[in-house]
């Protein structure tokens, strides 16, 4: 991290008095001596340097206020909304945490249990404090103590407006008060929604400023208490949040609420395909909570759902009733080879499309999103192939279509769903008979030079410019 220049070693900056002589008109400056011009340039250069240094320090300080070492990797855990909506209480939350331990989910990284809307009383106290429902959540501190004792972090929900989406008190104009309350109750995570937006002549802020209010409040609480909460924005992809979300939060929703149907999943996949570069360690696109185990998703659709969310490095928050989840759906959530990519400590970036497939590249199509994706990981180059069609299909690609693959090298192929090593790929790979709405996830690693004498001598797009050392183009 950059540090402030030492006052004993920093070059001198012109004082207002010494700078006064540079108020001359443009005509006077043209007739200035060479020495005074040199002094002017040096003064302006130093001012620019100092301004840049201050800007860098300010940005670094802001980033540290957000992270404090918190939120490097995507959150994994549970959120009750998709399964229970407002029908929640402390008993249900603790029982869900116990299921997570029993099923081995905690052991593989699902270590958050988060409340969503409807936990509060409808009115604040006489002194403005938000209060938990006296019947369903009589003691939030007791709840978080129990969750912590079980090995989990605890998450809570609020809203940037007057009210939450279900009509409970929002945090607008109570940001620091609520942040301090959440910290005193023992919460580690805050999901922050986007309902009941105040009138323009009240808020006088854009979307960034509206969320900055709580970011500042959380930073103030962190300074006072030493506790930094993970901050998750839920503003549904408004105002190009992927451009600014990382400045004030650890994750940001990019689209409307998810539903347990394929058309909802494909629409979200389409949305994220254009903004993958926004994700990295400490800040990431949030594709919404998982619907695995809900609705009428097929096994293959659920696999695709989990694979995309994990490999684009989105948060992985289970959202089904764990009391009734099937072993088939549970097995999807427990794929540790897929989870390892999501939780990669070296590469925080998302995989990205290298070819759209059914459509010309860069086509916005909520029904048939990009099919061919890749990206680097700690353990090799990751590939994801999605069959967006309603029938089985073969999916083929040239290896060097991915920018992460080296020409002239053959690659070993690991299937992250069958957990098998599937031989060596030379120049291309074909996944046969991929089910409708199904997925293939592969890990490729260099496995020596490709065989000598292959024709053509260049693979993929390079063929159009394939040239011998003497300048002869291959044709």
Catalytic residues: 193, 257
Tokens of 234: 């839920």
Query: Pick from 226, 194, 187, 227: which is nearest to 213 by CA?
Result: 194
CB 62 within 8 A of CB 33: no
CB 54 within 8 A of CB 46: no
Q: If 0-12 CB within 10 Å is exposed, 13-18 middle and 19+ buried, where does residue 205 land?
A: middle
Tokens of 437: 């709405």
Tokens of 62: 């802001």
d(CA 87, CA 320): 13
Q: Name the region of 464 (left: φ>0; alpha: ψ -120 to 50; beta: rest).
A: alpha
Laid out side by side, the sheet with 189-193 consists of 284-286, 251-253, 230-233, 189-193, 153-159, 112-114, 76-79, 316-318
Tokens of 213: 């209010």
Q: Give me the helices (H) in 3-129, please.
A: 16-19, 26-30, 34-67, 81-84, 90-102
**3-state per-residue secondary structure call for 149-201:** HHCCEEEEEEECCCECCCCCECCCCCHHHHHHHHHHHCCCEEEEECCCCCCHH
Query: Helix, strand, or coil here: 430?
Result: strand
Helix or strand holding residue 189 (H, E): strand 189-193
The single residue listed with the structure tokens 């353990």 is: 379
d(CA 215, CA 282): 14
d(CA 370, CA 385): 9
The DSSP line for 294-327 is STT--HHHHHHHHHHHHHTT--EEE-S-TTT--H
Cis check: omega of the bond before 456, within 30 degrees of 0: yes
User: 2 has which bridge partners?
Assistant: none
CB 228 within 8 A of CB 218: yes
Query: Pick from 247, 341, 260, 291: which is nearest to 59 by CA?
Result: 247
d(CA 255, CA 274): 12
């Amino acid at each position: 991290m950059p540090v402030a220049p030492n006052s004993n070693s920093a070059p001198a900056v012109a004082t207002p008095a010494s700078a006064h002589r540079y108020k001359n008109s443009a005509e006077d400056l043209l007739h200035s001596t060479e020495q005074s011009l040199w002094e002017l340039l040096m003064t302006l250069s130093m001012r620019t340097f100092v301004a840049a240094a201050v800007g860098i320090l300010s940005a670094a300080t802001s980033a540290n206020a957000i992270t404090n070492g918190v939120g490097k990797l995507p959150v994994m855990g549970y959120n009750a909304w998709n399964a229970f909506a407002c029908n929640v209480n402390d008993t249900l939350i603790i029982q869900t945490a116990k299921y997570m331990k029993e099923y081995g989910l905690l052991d593989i990284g699902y270590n958050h249990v988060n409340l969503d809307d409807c936990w509060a009383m409808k009115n604040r106290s006489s002194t403005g404090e938000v209060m938990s429902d006296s019947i369903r959540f009589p003691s939030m501190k007791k709840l978080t103590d129990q969750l912590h004792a079980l090995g989990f972090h605890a998450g809570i929900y609020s809203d940037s407006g007057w009210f939450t989406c279900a009509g409970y008190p929002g945090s607008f104009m109570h940001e620091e008060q609520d942040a301090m309350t959440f910290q005193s109750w023992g919460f580690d995570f805050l999901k922050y929604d986007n309902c009941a937006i105040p009138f323009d002549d009240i808020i006088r802020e854009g979307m960034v400023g509206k969320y900055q209010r709580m970011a500042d409040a959380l930073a103030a609480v962190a300074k006072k208490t030493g506790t930094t909460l993970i901050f998750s924005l839920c503003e549904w992809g408004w105002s190009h949040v992927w451009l600014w979300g990382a400045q004030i939060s650890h994750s940001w929703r990019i689209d409307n609420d998810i539903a347990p149907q394929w058309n909802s999943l494909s629409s979200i996949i389409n949305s994220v395909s254009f903004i993958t570069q926004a994700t990295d360690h400490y800040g990431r696109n949030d594709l919404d909570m998982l619907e695995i185990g809900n609705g009428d998703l097929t096994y293959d659709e659920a696999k695709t759902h989990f694979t995309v969310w994990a490999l684009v490095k989105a948060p992985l928050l289970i959202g089904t009733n764990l009391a009734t989840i099937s072993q088939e759906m549970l097995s999807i959530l427990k794929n540790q080879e897929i989870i390892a990519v999501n939780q990669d400590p070296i590469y925080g970036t998302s995989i990205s499309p290298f070819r759209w497939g059914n459509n010309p590249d860069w086509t916005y199509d909520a029904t048939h999103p990009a099919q061919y994706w890749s990206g680097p990981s700690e353990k090799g180059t990751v590939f994801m192939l999605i069959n967006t069609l309603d029938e089985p299909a073969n999916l083929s690609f040239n290896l060097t279509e991915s920018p992460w693959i080296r020409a002239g090298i053959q690659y070993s192929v690991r299937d992250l769903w069958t957990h098998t090593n599937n031989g060596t790929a030379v120049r291309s790979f074909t996944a046969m008979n991929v089910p409708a709405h199904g997925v293939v996830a592969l890990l490729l690693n260099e496995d020596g030079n490709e065989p000598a004498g292959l024709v053509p001598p260049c693979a993929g797009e390079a063929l159009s410019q394939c040239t011998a050392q003497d300048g002869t183009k291959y044709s």
